Structure 1
Amino acid sequence: MGQKKKKSPKRSGSRVDMREPVPRRDAIGVQNNYAPPEGAAAPVLGLPQVDPGFTSRDTELGRVLALLDPKGTDQAGLVVAEGMGGVGKTQLALVVGHKALAREWFAGALFIDLHGYTTPVDGDRAVESFLHALEVPTQRWPADADGKRALYRSALERRAEDLGGPILVVADNASHADQVRPLLPGQTRHRVLITSRDRLTSLHSRRIVLGHLDEAHSVSLLGESLRIVDPDDERADDTADLGRMAKACGGLPLALRICAAILSAAPDMSTGELATTLEDAESRLVHLRDDSRNLRAVFEQSRARLSKDAAEMLALLGLAPGPDISMTAASVLAGDTEQETLVSLRALASAHLVSGKKGRWRMHDLVADYAASLASGKNETGRYPRARRRLLQHYTAVARDARSHLDVLPGEEPSPAFRDRSAALKWFDTERAVLLDAVHTEVERGIGLPFALIPYLANQRSFHDMEVVSRIAIHACQKNKSPENEGMAWNGLGLAFRQVGRFEEAIEAHHRALGLLEQCGDPFSEGMAWNGLGLAFRKVGRFEEAIEAHHRAHSMHRQLGDTHREAIAWNNLGLALQEVGRFEEAIEAHHRAQGLLEQCGDTHREATVWNNLGTVLREVDRFEEATALLNRAVDYFASCRDEHSEGDARYELGLTWVAAGDPDRAVPYLERAVELLGANNDPHLHGKAARALAEARAALGGPVSTR
């Protein structure tokens, strides 16, 4: 079939009319330049128009313009604007180009869409496209590629001389440096602006990386896009629901524009309706498409250019729980060495599908959504379920190793996987969000991870998370028919309830624990449940029942030869005895606890006993002994950075100085107690300390405010 003869652009002098550009396709089958409309006037070299509603990129605009400014101090002949698909690179480049032309920095501009992620335009075919735009007759073109490149550079210089200034070259959607390299001008006065989803490092360019928009700018983009279609669209002012939508879109401009288009096409749809649809969707990508844009297709284009290993790594990352993943965990997931895995992760980072920092790797929420869909569609092969189990087993094993350091006693050998308790806590802190998500998503697969995580959450006073994880553990134990472990999970739930003041629920949880543990014949765990029940009883004023529960606890642990748990029960018994005014018995109980803890080498809990013993000695007016013990507790807790316990001890020491008739010495301790307890998730004790501080100041005739 013969080819149709191409229609030449309308000429005026030596210029080509590029205003109001209309897309066309030439013989190579891709849109690679812009032809002028019929009858256009005032011919100039130009750029495509910017989509209406471009907003929220002032910082990036300023940086790129500064690099292109011919009179600037930080000039760059070659600038690459890079970022993930849909982040708004093309629009940024066009806005920059139009602003630069308006400021008369350039006499004209050449634009080409290189279609790097669909049907890429070869660099030398791009050169041919620019030769057409520069009106070089085809009969003058050399046969070889090098000759055409040289001709392009000379033609560009002639056009610049004709127009009286340098030219801005904009190469959009480049996926490889070889697409761009033939287009580079020979003279440094010209500028080249490239957009890409990849890091084109071999070009030695200045790079500007575009990230997602924050919530405020995302809401602004949504509202502006709605007003462009209908200035009276009241939905543009629904900032709360637009904020939900922005969050669901992860601040990705293309996703936000699609949402605005969906709303504009359906005037009866509320912003809340679309936001809820996105929030509740198993895959948001299903909904992020309109008649001309499809976010999933954008991600598919990026994935299609990856190596087989990198594409597989992307799918595997869709299985990973939490917001990010460590290098070690990623290699476990992949079933490869860290070095092999690193190669794939760096390939994904180069394509802006993941980002890496300090050994951890993260995906944008919508990329993670896409990656998850890749893995879920291939579960029948067996590799993906195995990879997921392998990762869960890794997290469970390391969490157990870290847990072994939390309450280790002298003579005990915690896991050598961690240097010390500080290193174990740091690992927990770093992986916390990942582990919590893993517990939620893997509840059907095992109970090891929840039980490894609960002690850490208790240590951090994260009682809401502790409640959630304990409930998950209970469900898992019931499913796996493990009543003994279920009893311990109920005991953990009771502890979480007690710490947040839900005392009746705590009592019920401990009763559930006791019923299961008595049935299983586990006296060790049963003793722990009696101890927890006694603490809950004391909080609701059932002091005699609390005393009985703690007696049973220390008796059971003594019979088992568990000196450590026996000491804990004696200490708690002392607290219950204080409540009913049996102070001498309380002092004896605390002394018993102190001796046993000293024997065990548990200085931390021994310091807790110093605190409790100091409070009961205050009740019997033995102030000198009380302040000595409380000072000792304060110093110890400060030395090991246990801020909550230090705040508690300072509060009790302040009360003791007030009781001893010296409120002046009490105030500094109470001030610091208020500060520490306010920062460590104990509103009840913080309130008591604040009231005590106000009373101490009032006794001195000072300000009562505890602000």
Structure 2
Amino acid sequence: MSGTSGRRDTFGAELRRLRLAAGLSLSALAERVHYSKGYLSKVETGATAPNMSLALLCDAEFGTAGALAELVPASTRRQQVPRPPAPSLPAPPPVTAHFTGREREFEEIRTVLLDDTPAAPPVCVLSGMAGVGKTTLAARIAHRLEARFSDGCLFLDLRGHTPDATEVSAAEALDRCLRALGMPGEEIPRDTDDRAGVYRNRLRGRRFLIVLDNVRSARQVLPLLPAEPNCRVLVTSRNRLHALDDAHHVLLDTMPEADAAALFRRIAGTALPPAGADQHTDRLLTRIGDRCGRLPLAVRIAAARYRGHAGWTPDELVTRLADEQARLDLLDDGERSVTAAFRLSYHDLPEQQRHMFTVLALHPGQDIDLRAACALADTDLPAAERALIGLQDANLLIQRAPRRYQFHDLLRAFATHGAVDAVPQAGRRAAVSRLIDFALAGAERASILLAPHRSRPALHLGRLPLEPTPLPDIDAALAWFTAEWPNLVALCRLAAEQGPRQRCWQLAFSLRDFFFLTKLRQPWIETHALAVAAAKEAGDTRARAGSLNNLGVPYLELGDLDSAAACYQEALGLFHELGDGLGISSALANHAWVTHHRGEHQAAVRDLRHALEFYERQGLPRNAAITLRGIALIEAESGALDDAVPHALAALRSCQELGLDLDAAMTLNCLGLAYYRSGRWDQAARAYQQARTLGAGVGSLHETARAETGLGNLAAARGDRAAAQWHWARAGEHYPELSTLRVAEARDRLAEQARTSSAGAGQP
């Protein structure tokens, strides 16, 4: 380019062309280069001459390799070129033209480093897991802020986590710094403390930005921290360096979804259509970023490999990244490797932390709590917590909630396919067995609180290193299940695949009452289908029958009557083979609901009465109360209202005497329906209000929404449309998808809405 060949070749015109080609507004460019929007506008229009600092920053931003700097007028170039550092002063590495995002972290660090108030922290620590982009961000900060430090920037790579390289000791780093500051080598003291003293004296009265990159420990950098208040230090490390307690700490997390996709697009370049031109490609890039764990190193490698394979498409790359082991292989371009970066961090760990990291890979869920980690590692709480905190400080674990830890996706893949082999096969089996038994003990304890009167098979668990989480009441049980159910589902799956098989159906059974309360039907189906298959393979007919009987319930609630009927009929046949009267009555009562929803109400009531008689003979009041409520509900729905009300009241008394709050809420809703349909609206309102209170108290969004729907139906029947809409809206907030097949209030709502709509349409 030449500065004299026409308008296009002037600095301002070229800057504008590059900015528009990159899709940047003046405001966006101003945020990136930290010049004001007004100044940039004047430069673009030629009203103000550019300076060399702006040219260098924009060259780095647009990847134009100095082309803009060449367009800076010679008259200003000589005056405004930033003063270069002394020849021996270690300079920051070049800034990549593909740098993307990190605006929030950049601004936070910039604010700390440029804060000249007496209380300002002199050190900023930037920590994060391997490959998250700490050095890249530090180099960008150094280039952007160097001009604000009159004596320049001193950038040292201390090689704390560099493969096949020796860590730079504090003594060696001080030697380099003193030489860079102009001290002859023969005058540098041999003792580290003496070097540190001379180093601090040399910095007095000067203003340096000192970047200490790739630091392993606080001990490595403490001698390098200046006493001069005008100097600032930026430290990067894979470890959190809590010992630098006077520092401001910034944790660099993985990239946001949009930034990861944008980084991939920048590196892939013309191999992809422009952003927004093809929504399918945009979605695929988001998935690629997710499969790279939104880790910048992984995204860069994946994009570079994509760019180097002309025959690849984004769809193919998504497929290639799907398998965990293949993903790690793909994220290695011969010079950069995600696995190598992780391996170095892993091998740097102390023995206890390395063991904990390894056994955590055996956990199939997304996160793990402290007590479960104890069970896996077969250790006590204090030792487990020390190891987990150490892994968190090394940025090898993430803590999203108190005492709950999880892997980054790629670290999990590395642990599963690399590190876990360090544990012998027998040790792995023992660890998984302890974990499953520990989880089952906790789930059983929580389930008993949710359904204390349910009959349960005996459990024979192995030795556990500690007790499950204490659960004082039903609220604690619900909170525990809410946090743990995805892990319990994953462990149920693991038990089905690897054994012991009986743990699969035992875990499924322990989840049944929580799934019924929360209406989590898909995991309910998954766990119980696994349980049925595992019990069949193990030849345990009783477990198979019980699992089938439970499996029919979510199918019924979803309206899949055929699948529900198949489960109940098979269970009924197996219970007959076993001569199990309780099982026969339970399956018969469950199947009665299929019969009812198929319109055969009298046959359904007949089967429920058979079950009720058995429960009363056997002295099973909980089963009897639930069955009597079922009879009342069918009577209310089929018009036998004179029978429905006394049956519902009798069932309610039994539930209250037994302390069955959820069943009492369900029975109150049944009673409300019977009163509503018989025209006793005041009594219906009281029943629904009590059901709403009790349902909310036990955490049942379903029963709360059912009660609100019933109250809305009452308001609509009384002509109060505003109140009806309010109650129906509240029902939608609690549980928006009440089944019109299973919930009579939902059907009545449709009828009331149709009636009030037609009445409103007829008004003048």
TM-score class normalised by the smaller sequence:
0.7 to 0.9
**Superposed displacement of residue 343, structure 1:** 1.5
Per the alignment, residue 719 of structure 2 pairs with: 663
Q: Does the residue aligned with 1:320 lie in a helix, a strand or coil?
A: coil
Per the alignment, residue 250 of structure 1 pairs with: 293
Tell me, yes or no, if structure 1 residue 220 matches structure 2 residue 262: yes
> 1:67, 1:74 within 8 Å by CA — same for their partners in 2?
no
**Superposed displacement of residue 697, structure 1:** 4.8
Tell me, yes or no, if structure 1 residue 323 matches structure 2 residue 323: no
Per the alignment, residue 173 of structure 2 pairs with: 126
Q: Tell me: CA distance 1:551–1:181, structure 2 relative to 1, closer, same or farther (3 Å).
A: same
Amino acid at match of 1:267: A
**Superposed displacement of residue 290, structure 1:** 0.9
- After TM superposition, the score normalised by the length of structure 1 is 0.85
Alpha-carbon distance between aligned partners in 2 of 1:135 and 1:230, rounded to the nearest angstrom: 49
Alpha-carbon distance between aligned partners in 1 of 2:288 and 2:160, rounded to the nearest angstrom: 30
Tell me, yes or no, if structure 1 residue 307 matches structure 2 residue 307: no
Per the alignment, residue 431 of structure 1 pairs with: 484
Amino acid at match of 1:141: I
> 2:661, 2:698 within 8 Å by CA — same for their partners in 1?
no
Alpha-carbon distance between aligned partners in 2 of 1:703 and 1:438, rounded to the nearest angstrom: 59
**Superposed displacement of residue 370, structure 1:** 1.8
**Superposed displacement of residue 595, structure 1:** 5.3
- After TM superposition, the score normalised by the length of structure 2 is 0.79
> 2:532, 2:544 within 8 Å by CA — same for their partners in 1?
yes
Q: Tell me: CA distance 1:179–1:683, structure 2 relative to 1, closer, same or farther (3 Å).
A: same
> 1:491, 1:513 within 8 Å by CA — same for their partners in 2?
yes
Amino acid at match of 2:448: S
1:140 to 164, 184, 187: 187
**Superposed displacement of residue 436, structure 1:** 2.0
> 1:646, 1:673 within 8 Å by CA — same for their partners in 2?
no
Q: Tell me: CA distance 1:511–1:381, structure 2 relative to 1, closer, same or farther (3 Å).
A: closer
Per the alignment, residue 4 of structure 1 pairs with: none
Tell me, yes or no, if structure 1 residue 89 matches structure 2 residue 134: yes
2:753 to 676, 694, 697: 694
Per the alignment, residue 168 of structure 1 pairs with: 209
User: Alpha-carbon deviations, 1:242-264, whole Å to 9, x = none?
Assistant: 11111112211111111111111
Q: Tell me: CA distance 1:603–1:354, structure 2 relative to 1, closer, same or farther (3 Å).
A: closer
1:179 to 209, 220, 226: 220
> 2:158, 2:168 within 8 Å by CA — same for their partners in 1?
yes
User: Alpha-carbon deviations, 1:51-72, whole Å to 9, x = none?
Assistant: 2311110001001111111557
Q: Does the residue aligned with 1:377 lie in a helix, a strand or coil?
A: helix
Per the alignment, residue 672 of structure 1 pairs with: 727
Per the alignment, residue 567 of structure 2 pairs with: 509
Q: Tell me: CA distance 1:598–1:58, structure 2 relative to 1, closer, same or farther (3 Å).
A: closer
Q: Tell me: CA distance 1:560–1:82, structure 2 relative to 1, closer, same or farther (3 Å).
A: same
Q: Does the residue aligned with 1:207 lie in a helix, a strand or coil?
A: strand
2:603 to 545, 549, 554: 545
Comparing 171-180 with 123-132, which one deviates more in the overlay?
Answer: 123-132
Q: Does the residue aligned with 1:136 lie in a helix, a strand or coil?
A: coil
Alpha-carbon distance between aligned partners in 1 of 2:311 and 2:699, rounded to the nearest angstrom: 57
Q: Does the residue aligned with 2:405 lie in a helix, a strand or coil?
A: strand
2:627 to 551, 569, 594: 569
Q: Does the residue aligned with 2:235 lie in a helix, a strand or coil?
A: strand
User: Alpha-carbon deviations, 1:331-365, whole Å to 9, x = none?
Assistant: 12111110111121121122111133412222212
Per the alignment, residue 465 of structure 2 pairs with: none
Gaps of 5+ in 2: 1-58, 60-82, 457-467
1:362 to 406, 409, 419: 406
> 1:285, 1:370 within 8 Å by CA — same for their partners in 2?
yes
> 2:320, 2:326 within 8 Å by CA — same for their partners in 1?
no
Comparing 436-445 with 90-99, which one deviates more in the overlay?
Answer: 436-445
Q: Tell me: CA distance 1:127–1:632, structure 2 relative to 1, closer, same or farther (3 Å).
A: closer
Tell me, yes or no, if structure 1 residue 559 matches structure 2 residue 600: no
Per the alignment, residue 268 of structure 1 pairs with: 311
**Superposed displacement of residue 411, structure 1:** 14
Q: Tell me: CA distance 1:574–1:120, structure 2 relative to 1, closer, same or farther (3 Å).
A: same
User: Alpha-carbon deviations, 1:371-399, whole Å to 9, x = none?
Assistant: 22345424535222211110110000110
Gaps of 5+ in 1: 1-19, 21-40
User: Alpha-carbon deviations, 1:286-324, whole Å to 9, x = none?
Assistant: 322112111111111112221111111110111123222
Per the alignment, residue 52 of structure 1 pairs with: 97
Alpha-carbon distance between aligned partners in 2 of 1:637 and 1:589, rounded to the nearest angstrom: 20
Tell me, yes or no, if structure 1 residue 207 matches structure 2 residue 249: yes
Alpha-carbon distance between aligned partners in 2 of 1:553 and 1:233, rounded to the nearest angstrom: 67
> 2:447, 2:510 within 8 Å by CA — same for their partners in 1?
yes
Amino acid at match of 1:663: G
Per the alignment, residue 38 of structure 1 pairs with: none
Q: Does the residue aligned with 2:148 lie in a helix, a strand or coil?
A: coil
Q: Tell me: CA distance 1:241–1:349, structure 2 relative to 1, closer, same or farther (3 Å).
A: same
> 2:713, 2:749 within 8 Å by CA — same for their partners in 1?
no
Q: Does the residue aligned with 2:312 lie in a helix, a strand or coil?
A: coil
Tell me, yes or no, if structure 1 residue 418 matches structure 2 residue 471: yes
Comparing 446-455 with 559-568, which one deviates more in the overlay?
Answer: 559-568
Per the alignment, residue 449 of structure 2 pairs with: 405
**Superposed displacement of residue 122, structure 1:** 0.9
Q: Tell me: CA distance 1:502–1:282, structure 2 relative to 1, closer, same or farther (3 Å).
A: farther
Alpha-carbon distance between aligned partners in 1 of 2:181 and 2:200, rounded to the nearest angstrom: 10
Amino acid at match of 1:168: L
Per the alignment, residue 526 of structure 1 pairs with: 584
User: Alpha-carbon deviations, 1:387-415, whole Å to 9, x = none?
Assistant: 11101100001100110011235999xx9
Alpha-carbon distance between aligned partners in 2 of 1:542 and 1:73, rounded to the nearest angstrom: 83
Alpha-carbon distance between aligned partners in 1 of 2:276 and 2:699, rounded to the nearest angstrom: 51
Q: Tell me: CA distance 1:224–1:93, structure 2 relative to 1, closer, same or farther (3 Å).
A: same
Per the alignment, residue 31 of structure 1 pairs with: none
Q: Tell me: CA distance 1:346–1:621, structure 2 relative to 1, closer, same or farther (3 Å).
A: closer
User: Alpha-carbon deviations, 1:466-517, whole Å to 9, x = none?
Assistant: 1111111112211222111111211222110111111221111211211122
Per the alignment, residue 387 of structure 1 pairs with: 431
2:553 to 479, 495, 498: 495
Q: Does the residue aligned with 1:684 lie in a helix, a strand or coil?
A: coil
Amino acid at match of 1:185: P
Q: Tell me: CA distance 1:684–1:68, structure 2 relative to 1, closer, same or farther (3 Å).
A: same
User: Alpha-carbon deviations, 1:422-474, whole Å to 9, x = none?
Assistant: 11111111212222222222223222211101221111111111111111111
User: Alpha-carbon deviations, 1:612-670, whole Å to 9, x = none?
Assistant: 244334444455554554454445445555442233234334445655xx222x75256
**Superposed displacement of residue 124, structure 1:** 0.8
